[in-house]
Chains A and B, each alone.
Chain A
Amino acid sequence: MRKLAVDVVVIGGGSTGVGVVRDVAMRGYSAVLLDRADLGQGTSGRFHGLLHSGGRYVVSDPGSATECAEENAIVTRIHADAVETTGGYFVTAPGDDPEFADKFLGGAAATRVPAREISVAEALRNEPRLNPGILRAIEVQDGSVDGWQMIWGAARSAMAYGAKVLTYHRVTRIERDGGQVSAVYATDLKDGEDVRIDCTFVLNCAGPWAGQVAGMADCEPVEVVPGRGIMVAMNHRLVNRVINRLIYPADGDILVPVHTVCIIGTTDVKVEDPDALAIPREEVQQMLDAGEILVPGFRRSRALHAWAGARPLIKDKRVSSSDTRHMSRGMAVIDHAERDGLEGMLTIGGGKLTTYRLMAEHIVDEMCRKLGETRACRTADEVVPGSENGKNYHVTHRLHDREEDRLDDQIICECELMSRSMFIKAWEDQPDASFDDIRRQLRLGMGPCQGGFCSTRATGIALDTGHIDLERATGLLRLFLKNRWIGLWPILYGDQLRQAALDNWIFQGTLDVEHLPQPETEVEL
């Protein structure tokens, strides 16, 4: 068993967890972050990519609106490389109440969310695919954010401050010494080795899995009610700004341009198990109908991929915090000292990706208060590694890069313009990765062909690095194809079906990939 000793163990590698470990590390605590999978593999990687302007909440939740507006500006600055400043419109679709726009403008003024009504003609001129029947349009400062890029930026910042980030480490037990947390036990899922981490504080940021983690410290069950939402990515940027329905928040009311695609979301269905999230075809139909309202012809556009995420909603009667005024809206903090007689552990639920940094600040403030220390938060003041030049993401960045290096480097994924050297660098950094881990960082296999051409190339290159053997390389290819299909089959129609037919022709017809020597056990990580 490996042994480590730190001040703080953060459990959960989503946006909350990395935000917390970065904050903790910047305040001078030694820290380890544990996740049973890759960073951003859960809820934080399964959203629609919206960096809220706050507009969504100006009527329904004014406090959140102000927080979003402030954090939007901060995230756009400290995670410049992850954020595209697309701007956004709230539009009154035919049949929606046009007077809601007045409430919206009033709310925006009250919450200090920048918003300006523009003419329908201007909105249509700037977004020609938009429903010409819209009645009103309000311009806001929405953006889009690559959740994985943001999370890895925060994680690299934390590592630069000395934190350790241990992915694929499943927490097995949280040890108490009397009424005080004393250690966290985890298993390294890649090599099977157990790890014991002595610590004085545990911050449980496991989102929809927070209840399971709290249970490992023998706490009273924490009730988590995961809310499943599905998203559908369309193959093109049908719009170049975020388009929101100008109504009370509802299903399928947001269309977000992210990278080369646009994403519509979402639904909200209570589910039991955050590890078993279906993508029902009827919910896909619901998204297509909703898209049709914003962009006529949406249904005839090419859907590319679908996914489902689980909202990390905690419903616990004893959710406390002696003082909630300074807490971020939509967030619940459980202090296990008051609730379970266990000092040194806080469980965090709820929250939004846009306000992840503020949530982290509040949680770490709370931890400092409990430790009787005053250490200032600096996470808003310093940009993360990769964003030093202050330039926000632009959709043509990779095209520019490939034009620079096209004679010296190979394009391994034409759809997403990922080069060989980009892949090799990521692989050298994470030689025990799966191709999905690389996908989250480099967008391998996320374009129109959905891995049809790049996945065998990636397999060959990964094998040639010498870090993995043939059986693992072949197993990773099988795993990647299987995982791509999870998000493909629910949206398989039109041109994406043609693509799937071509991909099957390549993999089965030409390569006979299904008759490669079968592994004794399938590679799963």
Chain B
Amino acid sequence: MSRVIVIGAGVAGLTAALRLARAGVGVTLLTKGIGGLQLSQGTVDVLGYQTAADRGLRVADPLTGLGELAAAQPSHPYARIGADAVRAGVEFLREELGPDLLVGEADANVLLPTAVGAVRPTCLVQPSMLAGSCVPGARFVIVGLRRLKDFPAGLIAGNLSRAVLDGGQLTARAVTIDVPARQGEADSSGLTYARAFDDPAFRERFAAELRPLVEAGETVGLPAVLGLKDRTAWQHLSELLGHPVFEIPLPPPSVPGMRLNLALTAAARAAGVRIVNGSWATSPSVADGKVTAVSFTTSGTPREFAGSAFLLAAGGFESGALSFDSHDEVKETIFGLPLAGTDVPALVHGDYWGAEQPLFGVGVAVDDTMRVVAPGGGPVYQNLWAAGGVLAGAYRWTEKSGEGIALGSAVKAADAIAAALIPSSRPAPGSPPATEIPDQARADQTEATA
């Protein structure tokens, strides 16, 4: 039996591992720590802005938008991934996590408020956020919590009121209430509040404080802390208040991101994915143009994980999968892969509000199956694929494209790997014929102490 080694526990790694497991492939997922979902806003972005336009043009249909982006920028990951794989990835995740965690369609963006009061396009959202959809005529009351410092309600309400929407504006006002999550604590984190909101009694206390302040016809905007484990906490609060409520994501640690992470990790485990946490990848073993194993340090002991196929989904510069040293050298830190996007006059520049920093577009190049290729050349290894933030050519944060790239590339890579390992399996749309990868003798052992 063959085994796939997935490196990285963000949305790309977890989704690919789950999809491979569903296809009947043995998967070991190695991760340095908890993946990037907890740093995210906890929604699924596909494409929010066409960033080539001045200050970014807001995208209404992200699948159409990514086609236009791919046509204009052939080096963008979406040019390799394509709209079909993105749709497949987005729908796969939505079906796996279910409607109490993700709702929406891959070809329609919604506009949600951010925790500074910007109006941000995103695609799939958590149902607890949906009532915050920014449409003309909406009436919001944004509720700050005295002891939660990352939710400046006045700033949010004020900027939302200034936002220019198609066909008009919305109104928003701010109130601040003081309901301690823990008695005697002035500085509570979002996670502390989320755990408090898991308790129905806290929700009742909270609603009793807030109810008199909400006016008829108002929708109540709250920090995204309405329960971590209890996915109905927000509905209960809404019933108690007699008003629709919505959550606005906070800077990390992100409670909505944690919800997705917990659910996706649990699904992967339940599907048979073996997750090895605390594993810091260091270097590959290579033979005959293939990766045979990857060395990891885990609990201080170097170990080697052998596999038939490898998926690099370890993220970009934020995770350390890509590095830039004091001699201005950019590296992919595990396999030492060749990088695309480095052929620019300067990788960083001093204009903060100006053009993208080219450095953040550096990454690995892939072919149409997400197999890692040398820029402008062929595969680096026959059995190494890549997905997510490590891919070159995207500016995920300004484009609002991170999850779409991750999911599209994860699904494409997983399907290509499954097709290669199980020759009878049906190739995914757009996938090339399966690559023959013979099982390796030691793959069954899955790992050997170095």
Contact A506 B251 (CB under 8 A): yes
Contact assessment for B187 and A410 in the assembled complex, using a CB-CB cutoff below 8 Å: yes
A474 adjacent to B349 (CB under 8 Å): no
Q: Which of A459, A473, A489 has the most CB of B within 10 A?
A: A489
CA distance A119 to B420 in the complex (A): 67
Asked if B345 is at the interface (CB within 8 A of a chain A CB), the reply is no
- Does residue B284 face the partner (Cβ distance < 8 Å to A)? no
- Name the segment of A95-103, A309-317, A382-390, A508-516 touching the other chain: A508-516
Known: A407-B184, A505-B397, A510-B249. A492 touches B114 (CB 8 A): no
Alpha-carbon distance between A370 and B304 when the two chains are bound, in angstroms: 82
Candidates B120, B318, B320, B325; contact of A515 at CB < 8 Å? B120
In the bound complex, CA of A464 to CA of B175 (Å): 11
A460 near B352 (CB under 8 angstroms)?
no
CB distance from A520 to the nearest CB of B (A): 12
Please determine whether A494 and B325 come into contact, CB atoms closer than 8 angstroms: yes
A460 vs B55: C-alpha distance in the bound complex, in angstroms?
24
Q: Which of A299, A470, A515 contacts B155 (CB 8 A)?
A: A470
On whether the beta carbons of B326 and A288 are closer than 8 Å, the reply is yes
The answer to whether A517 touches B159, judged by C-beta atoms less than 8 angstroms apart, is yes
The reply to whether A517 and B115 contact each other, CB–CB distance below 8 Å, is: no
- Interface bits B9-43 vs A (CB < 8 Å: 1, else 0): 00000000000000000000000000000011100
Q: State whether B40 touches A517 (Cβ < 8 A).
A: no
Q: Among residues 466 to 508 in chain A, which have CB atoms less than 8 Å away from a CB atom of chain B?
A: 470, 473-474, 477-478, 481-482, 484-486, 489-490, 492-494, 497-498, 501-502, 504-508
A residues within 8 A CB of B55? Answer: 514-515, 518
**Bound CA–CA A481/B323 (angstroms):** 23
A478 contacts B353, C-beta separation under 8 Å: yes
A494 to B360, CA, bound (A): 14
Contact B159 A515, beta carbon cutoff 8 Å: no
User: Which candidate, B76-84, B144-152, B363-371, is the interface stretch facing chain A?
Assistant: B144-152
**Inter-subunit contact A509/B397 (CB<8 Å):** yes
A contact residues around B328 at 8 Å (CB)? 281, 493
Q: How large is the interface on A (under 10, 10 to 19, 20 to 34, 35 or more residues)?
A: 35 or more
Q: Is the interface of A mostly helix, strand, loop or mixed?
A: helix
Would you call B317 and A509 a contact (CB within 8 A)?
no
> Given the interface contacts A463-B152, A506-B252, A510-B40, does A498 sit within 8 Å of B318 by beta carbon?
yes
Decide: A489 near B350, CB < 8 A? Known: A470-B159, A510-B40, A515-B119: yes
* A485 contacts across to B, CB distance below 8 A: 350, 352
Contacts of A501 in B (CB 8 A): 316-318, 360
Q: Does B254 reach chain A (CB closer than 8 Å)?
A: yes
Q: Which residues of B contact A303 (CB under 8 A)?
A: 326
CA distance A498 to B360 in the complex (A): 11
- Whether B448 sits at the interface, judged by CB under 8 Å, is no
**A420 close to chain B: CB less than 8 A:** yes
Which of A407, A457, A516 gathers most chain B CB within 10 Å?
A516
Contact in complex: A497, B118 (CB < 8 Å): no
- Decide if B116 touches A492 in the complex (CB within 8 Å): no
In this complex, the member of A281, A452, A481, A492 whose beta carbon has the largest number of chain B beta carbons within 10 angstroms is A492
Which residues from chain A contact B149 at a C-beta distance below 8 Å? 410, 412, 420, 457
A residues less than 8 Å from B343 (CB atoms):
none
- At the interface, yes or no: A453 with Cβ under 8 Å from chain B? yes
B162 at the interface (CB under 8 A from A): yes
- Asked if B324 contacts A509 (CB within 8 A), the reply is no
Q: How far is the CB of B134 from chain A (nearest CB, A)?
A: 12
In the complex, residue of chain B having the shortest beta-carbon distance to the beta carbon of A485? B352
Query: Which residues from B are CB-within-8-Å of A281?
Result: 328
One of B152, B184, B324 near A457 (C-beta < 8 A): B152
* Bound form: Cα–Cα A300–B325 in Å: 8
Bound together, the chains give a CA A401 to CA B348 distance in angstroms of 39
Whether A510 lies near B114 (C-beta < 8 A) is yes
Say whether A456 faces chain B, with CB atoms less than 8 Å apart: yes
Most chain A beta-carbon contacts within 10 A, residue among B117, B254, B326:
B326
**Complex Cα spacing A183 to B154, Å:** 45
Tell me if B56 is interfacial: C-beta within 8 Å of chain A.
yes
Contact of A439 with B by CB under 8 A: no
- A474-B159, A510-B41 are known contacts. Are A493 and B325 too (CB-CB below 8 A)? yes
By a CB distance below 8 angstroms, the chain B residues around A513 are: 114, 116, 118
User: A511 and B402: CB pair below 8 A?
Assistant: no
In the complex, the answer to whether A517 meets B150 with C-beta atoms within 8 Å is no
CA distance A457 to B190 in the complex (A): 14
List B contacts of A482 (CB < 8 A).
352-353
User: A456 and B150: CB pair below 8 A?
Assistant: yes
Q: From the candidates B249, B320, B326, name the one contacting A498 in the complex (CB within 8 A).
A: B320
Check A470–B158 contact: CB distance below 8 A: yes
B187's nearest neighbour on chain A, judged by CB, is: A410
Report how far A101 CA is from B115 CA in the complex, Å.
Answer: 59
Closest B-chain residue to A516, C-beta based?
B118
> Bound complex: CA of A489 vs CA of B49, how far in Å?
25
Q: B residues within 8 A CB of A493?
A: 324-326, 328
B324 x A494 contact (CB < 8 A): yes
Q: Does A381 sit at the interface, judged by CB under 8 A?
A: no
**B120 engages A512 (CB within 8 Å):** yes
Residue A406 lies at the interface, judged by CB distance under 8 Å to chain B: yes
A433-456 CB contacts (< 8 Å) to partner B? 452-453, 456
B332 shortest CB reach to chain A, Å: 14
Cα separation A181 to B353 with both chains bound (whole Å): 45
Provide the residues of chain A in CB contact with B186, threshold 8 Å: 406-410
Task: Judge whether B398 is part of the interface by a CB distance below 8 angstroms.
Answer: yes
Residue B163 is within 8 A (CB to CB) of chain A in the complex: yes
Interface string of B153-176 (1 = CB under 8 A from A): 111001100111000000000000
Q: A420-B149, A490-B350, A512-B118 are in contact. List 12 more A-B contacts (CB 8 A).
A: A288-B326, A457-B150, A460-B151, A485-B350, A494-B326, A497-B324, A502-B318, A505-B39, A510-B249, A511-B115, A514-B353, A516-B116
- Taking Cβ atoms with an 8 Å cutoff, the residues of B that contact A are 39-41, 48-49, 55-56, 114-120, 147, 149-155, 158-159, 162-164, 184-187, 249-252, 254, 316-320, 323-326, 328, 348-350, 352-353, 357, 359-360, 396-398, 400, 402
The 8 lowest CB-CB distance pairs between A and B, nearest first, are A460-B152, A485-B352, A509-B397, A508-B397, A470-B158, A501-B318, A512-B120, A512-B118
